[in-house]
Structure 1
Amino acid sequence: MLDLNILAIVPAGLLLVWLYSRRQSRSPYASLPLPPGPKPLPIIGNLLQMPTSREAQVYEQWGRDFNSGILHVNLAGTSVVIINSAAIANELLERRSSTYSSRPFSIMCTELMGFNNLVSLVPYGDTWRAMRRLLHREFHPTASLQYRPLVVEATNDFLRRLLDTPDEFCSNIIHMFGRVIMDITYGIKVKPEGDPRIQTAKRAMEAISEALSQGSFYVDAFPILKHIPEWVPGASFKRKAREWHLIADAMYHNPYNTTKENLTSGVTTASFVSKCLEDMPRSETKADNDWQEMLIRETAGTLYAAGTDTTGSTFKTFFLAMLFNPEMQARAQKEIDEVVGHGNLPDYSHQGSLPYVEAIVREALRWRPVTPQGIAHVVTAEDAFEGYRIPAGAVVIPNQWAMLHDENVYPNPSTFDPERFLDSEGRIDPNVKDPAHAAFGFGRRICPGRHLALSSLYITIASVLATFDIKKAVDTDGKPITPPGDYSPCGVVVSALDFKASITPRSAATKAAILALGA
C-alpha cells in the first residue's frame, strides 16, 4: 500500500471531487440520499477507513452498525455500494443485471499488472460476451459431464498421494486441482512434482486477489499516481506491478503456446484451447484472426488461474472442518459404507444417495466462502433502490460472507453444521437456501465453471471420506495439535493457511482399494 505522502495531490483530488459533484447534480435521482455508511473525510472520502484485512466481516459489521443491508462509501470520489443482503443482491444483480453486470476498471490490476483481459474483469460488452460464449459452450451443465473422467483420474492420484505423503496434503490439493484445470484447458499433463505452471497459476491468483481488494492500492483512486517513477518513496506498488506483470505474461502465453504448437504438430489431446482453435472462424484479415486468438488465449488464462486455486480452497476447508468435527466425519463415512460398501470408492452414480455428503459440500461452500467479499460489479446507469440513489459508475461489492452468514437464513452461522441442509428424514431440504446462490457470483457474471466445481467437490470429498480418517496431528509429547483455523487475512480470494493433520487409511480394505487404483 502507498505511503500517505503520496496522497498530497490535493489539486487532482479536488478536481475529481468537483467533477463527481457536477455529475451528481444532473442526476434525476439527485434529491435521494445515498445508502448509509461511515462518515467520509474531505477529498479522500472513506479511503483511510477501508479495511486491509477481513474486509467482508468489517462490511458485515458496518451493516449491523447502520442497520442496513446496503451501504455506501466514498473512495476519493468513487462511490462504492456494499450489499450485505441476499434479497438486495437478487434484486439488483439478478433482476437488474443489464445495469449491474459490468466490472470496475482497476488501473493496478489491468493497466499496470497486465490482467486486463481476465474474463472476470472484462467490462460488460462485446468482448465479454464473446468470451462468455466460449466458456458456455464447454462448461454448461451437459458439456461439463465430459470432464468427469479427468476429475476422477486426478482424485485417484490425490488418494495415492495422501497414502504416500499424508503430511503434504495441502500442497497435494493444489497439485490435484492444478492438474485438472491444466488437462481440461490445455490438454497438458503436469509434472508429478512441483510443476511450475501450477505455481504460476497460484501466484497469479494471489496477485489478482490482493490487487482487487477495494482500497488496497491508491493508484486506483488517484490514476495520476501511475506516472510516478518506481524509485519515489511510497511507490512500491510500481515494483509489485512490474513483478506481477511477468506472472500475467507467463499465465496467458506459456501453456497456450505449448498447446498451439502441439496442435500444429498433430500430437495434442482434446482440450478447451484445442477445440476453440479448431473451431475458430477464419478471416481474411490478420486483425480479426488475432482478435479471435486473443479471446481464446485470455479466456483460457482465466480458467487456468481461477480453476487452480478457488475449488481447492473449499476442499481445504473440508479437511479443516472434518478435523474439528470427527462425529460428522463418522456419520458421512457410515452413509458411504451403507450406500457404496466399505472398501469401495464412490462414483457419480452414488451422488443422489449420499445426502449427508452433499450437505457437507454445501456447508463447506457456505462456512468459509472462497470469495467472501465477492467480485465487484459496476452500475452502468444511475438507479434507485428503496429510496436510495445508486450513482452511475458506482462499484458494487456483493458481500458473500454476510449473505452466507445471515443468521435468519442459516442459524448459528459461525458453526459448521451440515445438518442445516437436511430435513427430518435426512434428505436435502429444498426449503434451505443452497449456498450456491451466493458462492458463485450473481446475474450475468455468475461463475461459468460452477457446474464443474460442484461435481469436483462432490467426488473428491466423497472419495476422501470413503478411504481416510482425518484427525488432529500430535506433537512430540503426543498431545493433539489444534490448528488455529486461520485464513488468508486479505484479498478477494481467501484460503485456509496450511495446517497439520493426521491422515490415515480407515482400514486395510480402504488402503487396498487405493493401492488397486495403480499409478
Structure 2
Amino acid sequence: MLLDQLLSSHNLGLWHVGASLLALASIALVADYAYMLYMRSKLVSAICISVVLPPGPFPWPVVGNTFSLPDNKPWIWFEELSKEYDAQLITVWIGRNPTIWINDAWAASEIFDKRAGIYSSRPRMLVFAELGAGQDNLLNMYTTTAEQRDRWRVHRKLIHYGVGIQSVRRYREFQNNESRLVAYDLLKAPDDYVKHFERYATSVVSIIAFGRRVESWDDPIITEVIAMMHLAADLNVPGKTFPMLMETFPFLARFPNAIAPWKYGLGKKRNFHFFYALADEAAKKEGHEDSFVNYLFSERSKHSLRDAEISSLTGNLFGAGSDTSSSTLITFILACCAFPEAVKPAWEELNRVVGSHRSPSWEDEDDLPYIKAFVKEVLRWRSVAIIGGQPHAPTQNDYYKGWLIPKGAWVQGNIWAIHHNEREFPDPDRFNPNRYLPGHPDSRPFPGEKGYMTFGWGRRVCTGQALAEQGTWITVARILWAFNIQKKKGPDGKPIEVDIFNYTNGLNMRPQPFECSIMPRSEEIRKTIEREGMQALEELEQYRGETKYRMSTFYSRDDLAMDLYGDGKS
C-alpha cells in the first residue's frame, strides 16, 4: 500500500514536472513569436510613428517563412513577392531572423552605395561563414568594431593589389594572349567551348596568383576548383533543405560532425590548405617575383598574416575570377544562339573597324560602341552572381521610406529582379544591346554610369570586377569577330532550340549544357585565328609551369568546399 502511494506520488511529481516544462516551452514559444510579430510592426514611440519591416508573407512560429521557399531559384519568388506587395523591399523570415530583399535598382543604389558606411558589414552566416572560413576570409568579415574594420581594410588593400582597377591594366598582355588561345581552341574543338572558357579564366587567374598558366582544360586545378566553387555557391542560396536549413535551426550546427550528416563535412578544422600549399610552392620558385602570392609573403610580417589568411586571399582570386568569368562567357554563347539578330550589327561594326587580318585589340574599344554595349548586355541579361554576392548587414538600425532595416539583419540585393524590371529594361528577357547605346529609344535611366549591378555595391563590391570586365570585353569582341555562333542543327536539319531559362540554381548561376555551332566567319579569319594562336603560345611560354598539389589531397567532395576558402573555423 505504502509502495503504491509512493509510486503514485512519484508519477504525479513527474507529471507536474513535465507539465511545467511544457508550459514553460509554450510560454517561450508564444513570447518568441510575439517578438517576431512585434518586429514586423515595430513602433517608434518617441515620434509616434509606426515603423515596420518591409512587407512580406506572414511568418510561422520558429520556422518563419523557411518552408515557403521554392525548391529552385528563390530570387524569382522574391521578385514575385515584390510585385505582389508593390514594394521595392520585402521581408522573408528565415527561422526567427528577418531577411530583407531589395528588388529595385534605385533602392539598392540608395541603400548600398549612398549609405555604404553602415552597410559594409556582414550578418551572421552560419553555413557559409561560421562553418566555413569564418573571419579569416574577406568575404565574411564583420566591420562592426574598429578592430574588425582595420583587419578588413588590410585584406581589401591586399586583394586590390592583385585585381584592383589600377592593377589589372598590367595584365592585358597575357590576358589578351589567353583570349587568343580561346579562339584558337574553339577553332580546333568548338563543341568543347565550356572547357575552353574554364581553362582561359582559370589560367588568367593562375598567372596573376602564381606566375604560371594552366595549359590544358583537364588540369585538376580547373576540374576540382570549379566543381568545388559550384558546391560552395549553393551554400548561400536560402533554402528549406540541408545544409541551409541550419540557418533556420542553428542549434543543429552544434552537433559533432560524426553524428550530424546534415553538416556535409562543414566545420572541420584543418592545419594545411590547398591554396596555401599552392601559394607557398609558387613563392619558393624563382622568377615571377611580381606574382600576387609573392606580394602576400612580402607583406606577411607587416600585417601579421596567418596561413589561413594567405590561403583565403589566394582562393578568393579563383572564386572571383574563374567560375564567374567562364559562366559569363557561356551565357554569351547562349545569347548569340537565341538572338542572332543582335549579332549582325556587331559583325558590321567589327568588319568596318577591325577587318579580317587581325583580331580586335584594346585600342579598338572606343571605336566599337556596339561591342561595348553588347558586353554590357551580356553582364545584365543573365548576371552570374544572381543575388548580388554575399549579404550586407547594417551596423545600426536604418530606415528606408518608413521601413525598418534592423541592425545586423541579412540584407541582399536581388540582381534578377533589378535587371528584369520592365521600367529600366523593357522586355527584359530579350537580349538587346541597344539598351546601352546612348540616345537609343531602348535606353532607359539607371543609377550609376555602368548601367548594371552585376558586381554588387558599395564597399563590398566584387573585388574582381575590373579584371572580369576587362577580360569579358576582349574575349567577347574577339569571338564575335571570329565566329558565326548559331543553334546546332539536328539529324533532320532543323535547329535544336536552346532554353534561355535553363540555368543552374547556385549563387553563381550558369546555363545548363546546350549544343551550338561555332564556325569561323571566313577562311581569312580562320588563318588569322591560327596565326595569332600560335603567336600567343610562344609569348605565354614564359608562364609554363605545373604544381605537385591537388585539391583532392586536402578535401573530399563531400566536404562541400567551404573549407576551400579558409581554415574551417567553426
TM over 0.5: yes
**Matched residue count:** 496
* Structure 1 residue 42: Cα displacement: 1.5
1:277 corresponds to which letter in structure 2?
F
Aligned-partner Cα distance in 2 for 1:494–1:469: 25
User: In the alignment, is the contact (CA less than 8 A) between 1:486 and 1:497 conserved in 2?
Assistant: no
2:454 counterpart of 1:439: yes
User: In the alignment, is the contact (CA less than 8 A) between 1:55 and 1:373 conserved in 2?
Assistant: no
- Decide which structure has the larger Cα Rg and report it: 2
* Structure 1 residue 251: Cα displacement: 4.7
Aligned-partner Cα distance in 2 for 1:431–1:68: 20
Aligned-partner Cα distance in 2 for 1:348–1:57: 37
2:93 counterpart of 1:74: yes
Aligned-partner Cα distance in 1 for 2:321–2:414: 21
Alignment of 1:29-48 (within 5 A): 29=44, 31-48=50-67
> SS of 2:117's equivalent?
coil
The residue that corresponds to 1:156 in the other structure is 180
2:254 counterpart of 1:227: yes
Q: Which of 340, 343, 347 matches 2:357?
A: 343
Q: Which of 142, 147, 152 matches 2:166?
A: 142
> SS of 2:515's equivalent?
coil
* Structure 1 residue 462: Cα displacement: 0.6
Alignment of 1:90-489 (within 5 A): 90-114=109-133, 117-124=136-143, 125-215=149-239, 217-229=244-256, 235-239=260-264, 241=266, 251-262=274-285, 266-278=286-298, 280=299, 282=301, 289-291=304-306, 294-375=308-389, 376-423=391-438, 437-489=452-504
* Structure 1 residue 269: Cα displacement: 4.8
* Structure 1 residue 28: Cα displacement: 7.9
Aligned-partner Cα distance in 2 for 1:432–1:201: 36
Aligned-partner Cα distance in 1 for 2:380–2:282: 36
1:44-102 CA distances to partner (integer Å, 9 max, x unpaired)? Answer: 11111123312211111100000100111222211101111111111211122122111
1:90-127 CA distances to partner (integer Å, 9 max, x unpaired)? Answer: 12111221221111232222333446533222222222
Q: Over aligned residues, Cα RMSD in angstroms?
A: 3.0
- Matched-pair identity in %: 28
User: In the alignment, is the contact (CA less than 8 A) between 1:200 and 1:250 conserved in 2?
Assistant: no
The residue that corresponds to 1:6 in the other structure is none
- TM-score of the pair, normalised by structure 2: 0.80
Which stretch shifts more, 196-205 or 393-402?
A: 196-205
Aligned-partner Cα distance in 2 for 1:108–1:423: 44
* Structure 1 residue 290: Cα displacement: 4.3
1:363-416 CA distances to partner (integer Å, 9 max, x unpaired)? Answer: 111110111211211122112221111111210011111111111111111111
* Structure 1 residue 236: Cα displacement: 3.8
Q: How has the CA–CA distance of structure 1 residues 16 and 438 changed in structure 2, closer, same or farther, with 3 Å as cutoff?
A: farther
Aligned-partner Cα distance in 1 for 2:205–2:130: 26
User: In the alignment, is the contact (CA less than 8 A) between 1:213 and 1:491 conserved in 2?
Assistant: yes
Which stretch shifts more, 173-182 or 131-140?
A: 131-140
Q: Which of 501, 505, 512 matches 2:527?
A: 512
Aligned-partner Cα distance in 2 for 1:348–1:12: 67
Aligned-partner Cα distance in 1 for 2:375–2:274: 30
Which stretch shifts more, 181-190 or 484-493?
A: 484-493
Which stretch shifts more, 252-261 or 382-391?
A: 252-261
User: In the alignment, is the contact (CA less than 8 A) between 1:13 and 1:76 conserved in 2?
Assistant: no
> SS of 1:241's equivalent?
coil
Aligned-partner Cα distance in 2 for 1:227–1:256: 33
Aligned-partner Cα distance in 1 for 2:120–2:501: 33
Which stretch shifts more, 132-141 or 327-336?
A: 132-141
Q: How has the CA–CA distance of structure 1 residues 303 and 487 changed in structure 2, closer, same or farther, with 3 Å as cutoff?
A: farther
2:74 counterpart of 1:50: no
1:270 corresponds to which letter in structure 2?
D
Aligned-partner Cα distance in 2 for 1:16–1:396: 25
User: In the alignment, is the contact (CA less than 8 A) between 2:163 and 2:463 conserved in 1?
Assistant: yes
Aligned-partner Cα distance in 1 for 2:440–2:508: 36
1:400-456 CA distances to partner (integer Å, 9 max, x unpaired)? Answer: 111111111111111111112124589x97956655541110111011221111111
Aligned-partner Cα distance in 2 for 1:198–1:72: 38
User: In the alignment, is the contact (CA less than 8 A) between 1:404 and 1:435 conserved in 2?
Assistant: no
User: In the alignment, is the contact (CA less than 8 A) between 1:70 and 1:81 conserved in 2?
Assistant: yes
Q: Which of 62, 69, 81 matches 1:62?
A: 81
2:436 corresponds to which letter in structure 1?
F
1:168-214 CA distances to partner (integer Å, 9 max, x unpaired)? Answer: 00111111101111111221222424111122331232122111112
The residue that corresponds to 1:7 in the other structure is none
Which stretch shifts more, 482-491 or 177-186?
A: 482-491
The residue that corresponds to 2:540 in the other structure is none
User: In the alignment, is the contact (CA less than 8 A) between 1:118 and 1:301 conserved in 2?
Assistant: no
- TM-score of the pair, normalised by structure 1: 0.88
Aligned-partner Cα distance in 1 for 2:524–2:31: 68
Aligned-partner Cα distance in 2 for 1:119–1:19: 36
Aligned-partner Cα distance in 2 for 1:314–1:499: 15
User: In the alignment, is the contact (CA less than 8 A) between 2:122 and 2:408 conserved in 1?
Assistant: no
1:26-46 CA distances to partner (integer Å, 9 max, x unpaired)? Answer: x88474211100111122111
- Unaligned 5+ segments in structure 1 are 1-9
1:259 corresponds to which letter in structure 2?
A
2:264 corresponds to which letter in structure 1?
R
> SS of 1:169's equivalent?
helix
2:370 corresponds to which letter in structure 1?
Y
* Structure 1 residue 22: Cα displacement: 12
Q: How has the CA–CA distance of structure 1 residues 393 and 193 changed in structure 2, closer, same or farther, with 3 Å as cutoff?
A: closer
User: In the alignment, is the contact (CA less than 8 A) between 1:343 and 1:509 conserved in 2?
Assistant: yes
Aligned structure 1 segments of 4 or more residues deviating by more than 6 angstroms: 10-13
2:458 corresponds to which letter in structure 1?
G
User: In the alignment, is the contact (CA less than 8 A) between 2:33 and 2:61 conserved in 1?
Assistant: no
Which stretch shifts more, 69-78 or 349-358?
A: 69-78
> SS of 1:320's equivalent?
helix
> SS of 2:497's equivalent?
coil
1:312-332 CA distances to partner (integer Å, 9 max, x unpaired)? Answer: 222111111111122322220
Q: How has the CA–CA distance of structure 1 residues 478 and 202 changed in structure 2, closer, same or farther, with 3 Å as cutoff?
A: same
* Structure 1 residue 257: Cα displacement: 2.5
Which stretch shifts more, 345-354 or 435-444?
A: 435-444
Which stretch shifts more, 505-514 or 130-139?
A: 130-139
> SS of 1:98's equivalent?
helix
